[in-house]
């Protein structure tokens, strides 16, 4: 007989093994879905997960997609660790893109080494401003940050839409919903000739290092950890709860804003309606899959980035709808949460006498 027993304390080894288990289960379930849809499961999975990254160009695309995911997820981990449910990173990304895009347009047809840093800074500030709304409403008006941050996503996309259709649209653009192209000085440099991977990846790596330092080497990181475990304990210890809420939202907003800058000054080069294929939402999954650990998030962002590429490849080669990517993302999170059960419980075999 098998009995389920609660563990005395969560298992450390399983904590980092369950994400791997979750990815494996997602592949199995994905294969099953492909089979039901009438595709050969192994072939479909190959087109989804291997073919897209088989060459140099594919690998560059993988890093290109993983960069914003990693950056946003790092920011979100500050919020999630301290029990703040910021799920509006997509809005903070969009607003960061709007502000930095606006600044980049001010420098239209101007060149200079100082332009790019200003544009990048503007994006971070934009993201922070937008994230400060749910943070301030939560701290001073007791308003649910989940709903506010989410509503602001819709608002940010409509602001962007208004700007690119109306006042910021390219005067020589035949009424296409897009702005002028940014000048070269406002673009992130490409790393290799012929590949789209750009210098934004260094922003993501810097975020990884800085966040690791804050989490594990500073008093602030310790405070966040305690607040995440128990708000009551944090209060008892005298931590300034309100300040911390605002701080983690600002960090998170800055990261999302930077991801927005990376998109528009990297591969896109202008503002248009679709600055992000829901990176802000997908990054929530990345943050969880990476266990809110900076190094874990690097791996998780690569895994989840494949679902974007795989969906595109599978659509081209097998006419598998591209939304399969989202289905995979949802499944990864389901399986991850489910396998967390093993963290807190263990199966005990009883009655089997030797």
Partner 1 sequence: MIIDINFVGLIIASIMASAVPLILASCGELITERSGVLNLGVEGMMIIGAISGFALMTVTGSLIIAVFGAMLAGVLISTIFAFLTQTLITNHVATGLALTIFGIGISAMIGKNFVGIPGKEFPVLFESLKDTIPLLSPILFGHSVVFYFAFALPFTTSYFLKKTKIGLIVRAVGDSPESASNQGINVKLVRYACILYGGAMCGLAGAYLSMIYTPQWIENMTGGRGWIALALVVFSTWNPIKILIGAMIFGGLTIIQFHMQAIGVRIPVQFLTALPYIVTIIVLVVISRDSRKIRLSTPSSLGKSFYKDN
State which H helix or E strand residue 345 sits in: strand 345-349
Instruction: Provide, rounded to whole angstroms, the least separation between the CB of residue 59 and partner 1.
Output: 25
- Binding pattern for the stretch 161-200 against partner 1, x by CB under 8 A and - elsewhere: xx--xx----------------------------------
Instruction: Give the C-alpha separation, 66 to 205, whole Å.
Output: 11
Backbone φ and ψ of 54, nearest 5°: -80, -20
Instruction: Tell me: does residue 155 bind partner 1 (CB under 8 A).
Output: yes
Of the ranges 46-54, 121-129, 153-161, 196-204, which one interacts with partner 1 (CB under 8 A)? 153-161
Q: What is the dihedral of CA 302, 308, 311, 314, to 10 degrees?
A: -60
**Maximum Cα interatomic distance, the chain, rounded to a whole number of Å:** 83
Residues whose CB falls within 8 Å of the CB of residue 11, separated by 6 or more in sequence, listed in order:
342, 343, 346
Stretch 50-79 residues interacting with partner 1 (CB under 8 A) = none
Residues whose CB falls within 8 Å of the CB of residue 353, separated by 6 or more in sequence, listed in order:
none
Instruction: Tell me: does residue 326 bind partner 1 (CB under 8 A).
Output: yes
Q: Which of 92, 276, 313, 324 touches partner 1 by CB under 8 A?
A: 324
Instruction: Provide, rounded to whole angstroms, the least separation between the CB of residue 152 and partner 1.
Output: 7
116 touches 100 (CB < 8 A):
no
3-class secondary-structure state, position 349: strand
Instruction: Give the C-alpha separation, 42 to 27, whole Å.
Output: 10
Burial 182-209 (b: 16+ CB within 10 A, else e): bbebbbbeeeeeeeebbbbbebbeebbe
Q: Which residues pair with 6 in a beta bridge?
A: 345
246 touches 135 (CB < 8 A):
yes
Residue placing its CB nearer to partner 1 in the complex, 126 or 266: 126
- Binding pattern for the stretch 105-144 against partner 1, x by CB under 8 A and - elsewhere: --------------------------------x---xxxx
Instruction: Provide, rounded to whole angstroms, the least separation between the CB of residue 155 and partner 1.
Output: 5
Of the ranges 122-130, 149-157, 231-239, 346-354, which one interacts with partner 1 (CB under 8 A)? 149-157
Task: Compute how many other C-beta atoms are within 10 angstroms of the C-beta atom of residue 352.
Answer: 7
Instruction: Provide, rounded to whole angstroms, the least separation between the CB of residue 48 and partner 1.
Output: 14
Instruction: Provide, rounded to whole angstroms, the least separation between the CB of residue 247 and partner 1.
Output: 21
Stretch 261-300 residues interacting with partner 1 (CB under 8 A) = 281-282, 284-285, 288
Instruction: Provide, rounded to whole angstroms, the least separation between the CB of residue 154 and partner 1.
Output: 5
Instruction: Tell me: does residue 347 bind partner 1 (CB under 8 A).
Output: no
- Binding pattern for the stretch 228-267 against partner 1, x by CB under 8 A and - elsewhere: ----------------------------------------
Burial 128-148 (b: 16+ CB within 10 A, else e): bbbbebbbbbbbeeeeebeeb
Torsion-angle region of residue 73: left (phi > 0), alpha (psi -120 to 50) or beta? alpha
Residue placing its CB nearer to partner 1 in the complex, 20 or 37: 37
Of the ranges 20-28, 98-106, 155-163, 179-187, which one interacts with partner 1 (CB under 8 A)? 155-163
Instruction: Provide, rounded to whole angstroms, the least separation between the CB of residue 163 and partner 1.
Output: 9
Q: Which residues bind partner 1 (CB under 8 A)?
A: 6, 37, 85, 87, 137, 141-144, 146-148, 150-152, 154-155, 158-159, 161-162, 165-166, 281-282, 284-285, 288, 321, 323-331, 333-334, 337-338, 340-341, 344
């Amino acid at each position: 007989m098998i009995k389920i027993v609660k563990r005395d304390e969560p298992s450390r080894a399983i904590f980092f093994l369950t994400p791997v288990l979750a990815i494996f289960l997602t592949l199995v379930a994905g294969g099953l879905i492909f089979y039901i849809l009438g595709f050969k499961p192994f072939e479909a999975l190959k087109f989804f997960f291997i073919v897209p990254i088989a060459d140099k160009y594919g690998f560059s695309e993988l890093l290109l997609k993983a960069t914003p995911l990693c950056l946003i997820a790092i920011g979100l981990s500050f919020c999630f660790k301290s029990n703040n449910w910021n799920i509006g990173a997509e809005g903070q990304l969009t607003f960061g893109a709007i502000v930095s895009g606006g600044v980049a347009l001010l420098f239209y047809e101007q060149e200079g080494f100082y332009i790019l840093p200003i544009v990048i800074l503007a994006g971070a500030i934009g993201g922070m401003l937008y994230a400060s709304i749910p943070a301030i409403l939560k701290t001073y008006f007791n308003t649910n940050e989940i709903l506010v941050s989410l509503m602001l996503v819709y608002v940010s996309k409509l602001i962007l839409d208004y700007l690119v259709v109306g006042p910021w649209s390219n005067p020589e653009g035949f009424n296409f919903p897009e702005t002028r192209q940014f000048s070269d000085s406002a673009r992130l440099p490409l790393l290799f000739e012929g590949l789209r991977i750009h210098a934004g990846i260094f922003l993501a790596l810097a975020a990884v290092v800085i966040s690791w330092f804050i989490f594990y080497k500073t008093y602030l990181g310790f405070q966040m950890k305690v607040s995440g475990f128990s708000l009551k304990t944090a209060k008892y210890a005298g931590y300034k709860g309100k300040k911390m809420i605002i701080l983690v939202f600002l960090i998170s907003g800055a990261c999302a804003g930077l991801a927005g800058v990376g998109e528009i000054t990297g591969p896109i080069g202008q503002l248009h309606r679709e600055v992000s294929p829901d990176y802000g939402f997908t990054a929530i999954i990345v943050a969880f899959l990476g266990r809110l650990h900076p190094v874990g998030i690097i791996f998780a962002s690569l895994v989840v980035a494949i679902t974007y590429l795989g969906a595109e490849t599978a659509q081209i080669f097998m006419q598998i709808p591209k939304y399969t990517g989202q289905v995979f993302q949802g499944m990864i999170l389901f399986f991850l949460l489910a396998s967390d059960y093993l963290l807190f419980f263990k199966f005990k075999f009883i009655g089997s006498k030797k």
